[in-house]
Structure 1
Amino acid sequence: MYKKTIVISAKGEDSFTSAQLNKLKTIPNISFIAQMDPLTEKELVSFTHDAEIVAITRRSAKHLPANVLKQMHKLKGLVVYSTGCEWIDHYYTKQHDIPVSYLKHYSTNSVAEHTMGLMLTMSRRIHISYDKVRKIIPVHISNRGWELNNKKLGIIGYGRIGQRVAKLAEAFGMKVFYYDESRKNAGGAAYLPLNTLLSTCDLISLHASRQYQEPPILDKKRIAIIKKGACIINSSRPELIHTPSLISAINEGQIMGYAVDEILDQSDLASLSDYGRVLETAHSAWYSNEAIELGTEEWTNNIYAMAIGQPENILKIGELFHATTKMA
């Protein structure tokens, strides 16, 4: 049985290929909204209050808290163009038996390659060299870097992206270790307890999920035990790290640098004492031609499946990597 469906994306119908659009239009009660900028809560509710299925991109809605979801009075399912779902109150959706369909696979390669790009940029100080050429920074700032070869890489969160990063890192001659709540068939990577990984690895790369409104994995106490001179790579989500504590550790010389795929609160960066120690890439790790093509196809299939009452790729809270993991 088809359910009333609303699809909110940057370009509306133009977000889809003709074949994808034809498939979606077999759903009798479907409508499309083009929305380039984030909707206010009031706008979002006005569009979705009587929809049974809401399909939405992260660009159109930055957060889906309980107070918004409860105003979608007929909601029977969410279909999101996203892998990370920490922006959705999944405690509410679970309590009210609302399935959340998400994208599992679409950006694995893109994010993994971006992660390696962040490592190379930080290790070879490419961003420093670029700014020197453009005469943005003084010539006395050093752009001398270091090699990834033979360095210890610690991966926190060993799912699809973490495992792909491990394979790419091995090609650079890195020694790869991982921590996850469950030990996995790790290929060439070796499992380490979290504390051991933090205190012994030269680079730490985060690829963990996060539950709604839970505290960071790397809080002040964990940051304090990170190996002196280590570099932190975060192409996952900034909330996994307590940013003020990390900036303090950078200023104190404990942490060499931090690369994050987001735009940080600039007030957190105001105290930085050395240029180039923090690199931001504005949530672009996933953003490739291939990921968009694959993601839109997967999203189309997820929307259709939800609308006909056969939902696919449903978020299971128990599968998330919990940010509240005990010190190990």
Structure 2
Amino acid sequence: MQRIVYLERDSVIAEVRRPAFAHEWTEYASTTPAQVIERLTGATIAIVNKVPLPAAAVDALPDLKMVAVAATGTNIVDLDACRARGIVVSNIRGYAEHTVPEHVLALLLALSRNLVAWRETLLAGRWQQSDQFCLFDHPIRDLHGATLGLIGSGSLGNGVVRLAEAFGMRVLRAERKGATAVRPGYTAFAEVLREADAISLHCPLTDETRGLIGEAELRAMRRSALLINTARGGIVDEAALIQALKEGWIGGAGFDVITAEPPPAGHPMVAPDLLALPNFLLTPHVAWASRPAMQTLADQLIDNIEAFVAGAPRNRVA
């Protein structure tokens, strides 16, 4: 009998079917780090999303055999501790291959066409007071003919390429930062920073990618360039980004992720003066969260669990 404990059921709005094998199912709407060990005691399968599962928790759960991550990113799980115990860790893949790229393009379009600034103009009554049929208060740029730099790949990056090329954009795939050789089909990292009219991030958060975009990289970008981040907050140095936006090192930024989620009071990325900037858009980590995508995630989550119990684990990361 498998004992399955779902620690964060409210993190997905979808129908989650029950696995097709004998099991005991317990779910919690949400779970704090302090509650993890108590709630997973006796569990053989843990379903987690954002609540951390550190080595200390893994070591305190002798019955645990599988960790089913209800997301693609697995940085919240101590994978080395799981490997040492022989615990299988599986994640979700490909479920957001349409919704995240669409969010990226939405941010690019909104920033390129200055939609926030135009809304403020109308709220201020400028059009209503105009003596002609249109206004020219804010510049508008087309995506057609612009160059998009892609850092990271996978299904999400490939989805962005598909949509960007449909808009007539030229796409440059960035080689790894610091690489001594450039692979066929890729462009040197520094060259992408210099050439791109917009850069979209699609790499995982690792020791190598933490702070990947900092002051030096932001200063190397075009002053009109846009930076889009739907990956992970820690990939970008937030203090440097805020300075870049306020001092005009880059043209604008559209983010769906920050370093602390949800942000605590006083977090600089949700400061009112920053959110008021017309060239900065921040959404609350929802690029992945279309209803069809969440249902695909929920279905794949149970597929992963059933595959593990059948002796053929899938989507393994440990």
* TM-score for both structures, normalised by structure 2: 0.83
* 1:235–1:261 contact (8 Å) kept in structure 2: yes
Residues 185/267 of structure 1: CA separation in 2 closer, same or farther (3 Å cut):
closer
Find the partner of 1:80 among 69, 88, 105. 69
1:156 aligns with 2:155: no
Structure 2 segments unaligned to the other structure (5+ residues): 130-134
Three-state SS of the structure 2 residue aligned to 1:100 is strand
Residue in structure 1 matched with residue 110 of structure 2 by the alignment: 121
Q: CA deviation at 1:11?
A: 5.5
Q: Deviations over 1:20-58 (max 9, x none)?
A: 32xx1x4323212131x4x12222221102212112233
Residue in structure 1 matched with residue 132 of structure 2 by the alignment: none
Residue in structure 1 matched with residue 5 of structure 2 by the alignment: 6
Find the partner of 1:101 among 90, 112, 122. 90
Residues 125/84 of structure 1: CA separation in 2 closer, same or farther (3 Å cut):
same
1:47 aligns with 2:42: no
CA separation in 2, counterparts of 1:272 and 1:16?
Answer: 37
Q: Deviations over 1:58-92 (max 9, x none)?
A: 3xx2x222233332232221101101222222233
Q: CA deviation at 1:224?
A: 2.8
Three-state SS of the structure 2 residue aligned to 1:85 is coil
What amino acid sits opposite 1:178 in the alignment?
R
Q: How many residues get paired?
A: 301
Find the partner of 2:56 among 67, 71, 93. 67
Residue in structure 2 matched with residue 322 of structure 1 by the alignment: none
Q: CA deviation at 1:176?
A: 0.6
* 1:158–1:179 contact (8 Å) kept in structure 2: no
Q: CA deviation at 1:93?
A: 2.4
Three-state SS of the structure 2 residue aligned to 1:114 is helix
Residue in structure 2 matched with residue 170 of structure 1 by the alignment: 165
Find the partner of 2:254 among 254, 259, 263. 259
* 1:53–1:306 contact (8 Å) kept in structure 2: no
CA separation in 2, counterparts of 1:254 and 1:191?
Answer: 25
CA separation in 2, counterparts of 1:131 and 1:71?
Answer: 54
CA separation in 2, counterparts of 1:110 and 1:170?
Answer: 17
* 2:258–2:269 contact (8 Å) kept in structure 1: no
* 2:203–2:209 contact (8 Å) kept in structure 1: no
The root-mean-square deviation of aligned C-alpha atoms, in Å, is 3.2
* 1:86–1:212 contact (8 Å) kept in structure 2: no
Residue correspondence of structure 1 range 239-278 to structure 2 within 5 A: 239-262=234-257, 266-268=267-269, 270=271, 272=274, 275-278=277-280
Q: CA deviation at 1:311?
A: 1.4
Residues 273/296 of structure 1: CA separation in 2 closer, same or farther (3 Å cut):
closer
* 1:88–1:212 contact (8 Å) kept in structure 2: no
Residues 199/239 of structure 1: CA separation in 2 closer, same or farther (3 Å cut):
same
What amino acid sits opposite 1:173 in the alignment?
G
CA separation in 2, counterparts of 1:152 and 1:11?
Answer: 39
Residue in structure 2 matched with residue 320 of structure 1 by the alignment: none
* TM-score for both structures, normalised by structure 1: 0.81
Which stretch of structure 1 is more off in the superposition, 110-119 or 172-181?
A: 172-181
* 1:106–1:294 contact (8 Å) kept in structure 2: yes
What amino acid sits opposite 1:221 in the alignment?
A
* 2:182–2:188 contact (8 Å) kept in structure 1: no
Residue in structure 1 matched with residue 48 of structure 2 by the alignment: 56
Residue in structure 2 matched with residue 326 of structure 1 by the alignment: none
Three-state SS of the structure 1 residue aligned to 2:98 is helix
Three-state SS of the structure 2 residue aligned to 1:106 is coil
CA separation in 2, counterparts of 1:178 and 1:76?
Answer: 39
